[in-house]
């Protein structure tokens, strides 16, 4: 269940990507390059499904993918309205990321850990403090390394090449030679 939610989250496009400022459907040609948006802030990166995918790839190599998975699970949890579903998701988040026996335990301060009893009466912001800790850990640690990583830089180069294809450069050089001689 949790993995499906993470997959759905990483595929969803935020409203800002679906419509441009004038309310008409946006196109990828109108938006700034994704790597430029990702480099602007971790928030921008986490709003972009492709950014999340690339960041997860990077974190997987660093053995810390659980951080972004926890953050995404908390975002999904906050949107949950149904009480029973909220209890199930809270328990799943606890068992997957916070319990001492968690399969993908995140590194949060000991005093911030939740007591299992709180899972019986969940509320949308019950994980907020822990989510903020993980966000800051990613922002000040992994995110800066991601921006310097081969994975990010390669994607950035690919974007730049797509924006300025070699054929266009060659045609421009040819035209310049013709008119400048």
Q: If you average pLDDT over residues 45-55, what whole number do you get?
A: 96
Which residue, among 84, 86, 89, has the nearest Cα to 123 in the 3D structure?
86
- What is the predicted pLDDT for the residue at 25? 39
Model confidence over 65-111: pLDDT tens digits?
Answer: 999 999 999 999 999 999 999 999 999 999 999 988 898 999 888 64
pTM of the predicted protein model: 0.72
> For a pLDDT cut of 70, what percent of the chain falls above it?
70
Position 12 scores a pLDDT of: 41
Which tokens is 125 given?
Answer: 């912001």
For residue 173, what pLDDT is reported? Answer: 58
The CB-side HSE value for 179 (13 A sphere, CA atoms) comes to: 6
Q: For residues 91-115, b (16+ Cβ closer than 10 Å) or e, as one string?
A: ebbbbbbbeeeeebebebeeeeebe
Is residue 55 in some structural domain?
Answer: yes
Residue 87 CB partners (closer than 8 Å, separation 6+): 119, 120, 122
More confident residue, 23 or 138: 138
CA distance 133 to 3: 22
User: Within a domain: residue 40?
Assistant: yes
Task: Note whether residue 146 is domain-resident.
Answer: yes
- pLDDT tens, residue by residue, 14-48: 333 333 333 433 333 334 689 999 999 999 999 99
Domain of 128 in residue numbering reads as 36-156
127 part of a folded domain: yes
Asked whether residue 31 is assigned to any structural domain, the reply reads: no
Mean pLDDT of the chain: 80
Total of domains in the chain: 1
Q: Is residue 88 part of a domain?
A: yes
Per-residue pLDDT, 131: 96
CATH number (domain holding residue 67): 1.10.167.10
For residue 64, give Cα distances in angstroms to 40, 56, 83, 105, 137. Answer: 22, 9, 31, 10, 11
> How much is the pLDDT for 110?
67
Say if 67 falls within a structural domain. Answer: yes
Q: Give the per-residue pLDDT at 22.
A: 39
Query: Does residue 168 belong to any structural domain of this protein?
Result: no
| pLDDT value for 66 | 97
Say how many C-beta atoms besides its own lie within 10 A of residue 128's C-beta. Answer: 13
Q: Are 77 and 127 in contact (CB under 8 A)?
A: yes
Q: Who has greater pLDDT, 53 or 6?
A: 53
């Amino acid at each position: 269940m949790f993995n499906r939610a993470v997959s759905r989250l990483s595929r969803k496009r935020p409203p800002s990507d679906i419509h441009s400022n004038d309310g008409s459907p946006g196109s990828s040609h109108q938006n700034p390059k994704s790597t430029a948006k990702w480099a602007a802030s971790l928030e921008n990166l986490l709003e972009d499904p492709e950014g999340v995918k690339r960041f997860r790839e990077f974190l997987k190599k660093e053995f810390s993918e659980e951080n972004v998975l926890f953050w995404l699970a908390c975002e999904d949890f906050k949107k949950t309205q149904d009480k029973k579903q909220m209890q199930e998701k809270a328990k799943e988040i606890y068992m997957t990321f916070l319990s001492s026996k968690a399969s993908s335990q995140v590194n949060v301060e000991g005093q911030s850990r939740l007591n299992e009893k709180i899972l019986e009466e969940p509320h949308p912001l019950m994980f907020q403090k822990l989510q903020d800790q993980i966000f800051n850990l990613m922002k000040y640690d992994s995110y800066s390394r991601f921006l310097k990583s081969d994975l990010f830089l390669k994607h950035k180069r690919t974007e730049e090449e797509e924006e300025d294809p070699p054929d266009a450069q060659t045609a421009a050089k040819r035209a310049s030679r013709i008119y400048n001689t």
